[in-house]
Amino acid sequence: MKKQKIITLTEIFVIFLFVGPTFIVGLSTVQTQDTRFSTTQSYDMVYSTFLGGNHIDEGGVIKLDSQGNPVFTGMTQSADFPVTLGPNVTAGSEYVYVAKFNKDNLSEPIFITLIGGIGETRGTFWDIDNEDNIYVAGSTTVSSNFATPGAFDTTHNGGNDGYVCKLASNGTRIFTTYFGGSQQDYAYDIALDSDKNIWVTGTTSSPTFPTTPDAADSTYDLSSSWGSILLSEAFLVKISSDGSNLLYGSFIGAPSGPDGGWRVEVDSSDDIVIIGGTRASDFPVTNNAYDTSYAGNVEGFVMKFAKDGTVIFASYLGGSLDELPREIIFDSEDNLIIAGATASEDFPTSDNGYQQVFQGEEDIFITKIAANGSQLLFSTFLGSPNVDWVFWLELDEYTQRIYFTGVTFGTGWQVTDNSSYHGGRTDIILGVLEHDGSELLYSTLIGGIEVTQLDVGISDFPEGLTLISPTEIYMTFVTISSNFPVTPDAYDSEFDDTPITDNSNGQDAGLMKLIIPELPPLPESTSTTTTTEVPSTSDTTPSESTTTDSTTSIGLIVTLVSIVIISGISRKKKY
């Protein structure tokens, strides 16, 4: 039977360029449980709380400050959002919130504050320095009372502008600056180097986007034949720690297609790595890269820059259909661990990969590339017969094992505990992959049941993940499930479910603390450095696997729109 599909990763790519990631999918059918799993490990939910008001609220990235307190970001449109510091939400506007909770009493927030104003402000990606200052990047349409005096750019340039905001450890604002050109600029991720300079990547449709003389690419060079909605290039900027100077600015892309920069990270040598997506067959890959051949459609890319902005390598990453690289971390040797979603059956996998055969409509991939970009060290699918996406990666520094959160749109995801699909539109995945990609050591499903049958909406989505220890985990989430599990001591135990329209419901963000079972130790002879080399993607085909065959699935998808598109139409809310 031919699979029916309403949304593709190509469409998600366009949404990422101009609207931000917005995902909704329907239910699918069942896959036989993998017989390799024989354990009955589960998890203990130590703490779980909603966080939100009477409209739409989202979770975001979570990290720990120097005292071990969880800090996380998200977005809200709720006028009654529980702010403890600064002004409240103005009805009809969208804000970023930053929340810090007390690790010793999670029911008592240390502060909850907002970034934004009259308009729409987005941005859930942030970083924290060794003094617990918090740096948030995103995009905003707010044109007044936003930037601070002395900032690099205090004038709103038009449409959506990128911004960076720095908060002190107590939540008070240190500075906010715009950056961007006259068209649409979206900042998607932020990272700090050892000097606390701020690196930001995203996508822009502004030929006047600010670049510096030492830029790797100072020319906005997309062909007008793509049409206005696809006229975008990725960018990389470096802003001083005090927000007063643009130290580096460059386009990233090629004339033959749109490009988007989605994540940026800085390694232990202060080299900067960007991952994203491109439709360009002439993307500026380098001869020393693992993959120099464009396979088609929306293909992932990975680029590494020295701290002065010169290119070290640039490589494609993907198969013949669509890829959405979503997350990157580094192992102890600065090798790159990249995760995302793929619709490509020929996405490159390695002989030691846990799943070497594509499972469903869209699968998670987790791939490790050598620090110099020349080798694929391991690569594996993780998937069910349906649609599966990954949201966040964390690394256990001792074992180098890879912790991940994701989402599955239906039954069939393989678990190692006794959990089962909860029956809503989606369930949250929490998993642990062996350091060399060879085994799924732990996998569980978390969620509630979406009791109201709506035409659109998500059920349970993860956003962020951070490790307290190898068995203690914080996660953020977003849900429309009124029965999502919360604990009796929750800061907010009531789901706010005020309907938005006839076919759309409110949604809450939330925070969870989980304890998972202790995993087996690494064998004494096992090295956490993987040396398996895989040929170029042009020569790589998936090998056979013991994974059971999947049944046919049908995806029912309706996109929710969130950000203003270039035409100037007001953004609609994601989900």
Q: What is the pLDDT of residues 109-164, one digit of tens each?
A: 999 999 999 999 998 788 999 999 999 999 999 999 999 999 999 999 988 999 99
Model pLDDT for residues 479-517, shown as the tens digit of each residue:
888 888 899 999 999 887 665 554 456 788 999 999 999
Listed residue (216, 18, 173) closest to 86, CA to CA: 173
- Name residue 363's beta-bridge partners: 342
Largest CA distance in the chain: 62
In a domain, 527, yes or no: yes
pLDDT, position 59: 86
Chain-centre distance for alpha carbon 320: 23
Q: Is beta strand 95-102 parallel, antiparallel or unpaired with respect to 105-115?
A: antiparallel
**Sign of the CA dihedral with 294 first, then 298, 304, and 305 last:** positive
Residue 68 confidence (pLDDT) above 60:
yes
Integer Rg of the chain from CA: 22
Residue 89 confidence (pLDDT) above 70:
yes
Listed residue (449, 450, 441, 446) closest to 463, CA to CA: 446
Higher pLDDT, 491 or 447: 491
In a domain, 202, yes or no: yes
Please tell me the distance from the alpha carbon of residue 186 to that of residue 180, in angstroms, as a whole number. Answer: 9
Helix (H) or strand (E) holding 12: helix 9-18
Q: How far is residue 484 from each of residues 77, 269, 329, 415, 496, measured CA to CA in Å? A: 21, 42, 30, 19, 12
In a domain, 550, yes or no: no
Please tell me the distance from the alpha carbon of residue 458 to that of residue 478, in angstroms, as a whole number. Answer: 9
68: helix, strand or coil: coil
Model pLDDT for residues 212-229, shown as the tens digit of each residue:
999 999 988 765 444 444
Average pLDDT on 294-307 reads: 92
Model pLDDT for residues 465-481, shown as the tens digit of each residue:
999 999 999 999 888 88
Listed residue (347, 248, 253, 251) closest to 9, CA to CA: 347
SS3 of 535-558: the string is CCHHHCCCCCCCCCCCCCCCCCCC
In a domain, 490, yes or no: yes
The answer to whether 317 touches 325, Cβ cutoff 8 Å, is yes
Residues 6+ apart with CB under 8 A from 202: 137, 139, 162, 185, 186, 187, 188, 189, 234, 235, 260, 261
Confidence of residue 453 (pLDDT cuts 50, 70, 90): very low
In a domain, 208, yes or no: yes
Please tell me the distance from the alpha carbon of residue 30 to that of residue 355, in angstroms, as a whole number. Answer: 18
CATH of the domain at 410: 2.120.10.30
Q: How far is residue 215 from each of residues 69, 211, 252, measured CA to CA in Å? A: 38, 6, 10
Residues 6+ apart with CB under 8 A from 149: none
Domain that holds residue 533: 9-223+230-539
Confidence of residue 72 (pLDDT cuts 50, 70, 90): very high
In a domain, 567, yes or no: no
Q: Phi first, then psi: give them for residue 443, nearest 5 degrees.
A: -155, 130
Number of domains in the chain: 1
Encoded tokens for 575: 């989900």
Model pLDDT for residues 354-408, shown as the tens digit of each residue:
999 998 889 999 999 999 999 999 999 999 998 889 999 999 999 999 999 998 8
Higher pLDDT, 566 or 119: 119
The answer to whether 190 touches 200, Cβ cutoff 8 Å, is yes
User: E-strand spans in 486-548?
Assistant: 508-515
Average pLDDT on 409-432 reads: 82
Number of helices and strands in the chain (H, E): 1, 29
In a domain, 4, yes or no: no
Share of the chain above pLDDT 70, in %: 78
| Summary mean pLDDT of the chain | 81
Model pLDDT for residues 174-213, shown as the tens digit of each residue:
999 999 998 899 999 999 999 999 999 999 989 999 999 9
C-alpha dihedral (414, 420, 423, 429), degrees to nearest 10: -50
Confidence of residue 60 (pLDDT cuts 50, 70, 90): confident
User: Counting Cβ atoms within 10 Å, is residue 546 exposed (0-12), middle (13-18) or buried (19+)?
Assistant: exposed
Residue 319 confidence (pLDDT) above 50:
yes
In a domain, 210, yes or no: yes
- Cβ neighbour number for residue 13 with a 10 Å cutoff: 25
pLDDT, position 546: 36
pLDDT, position 228: 45
Helix (H) or strand (E) holding 18: helix 9-18
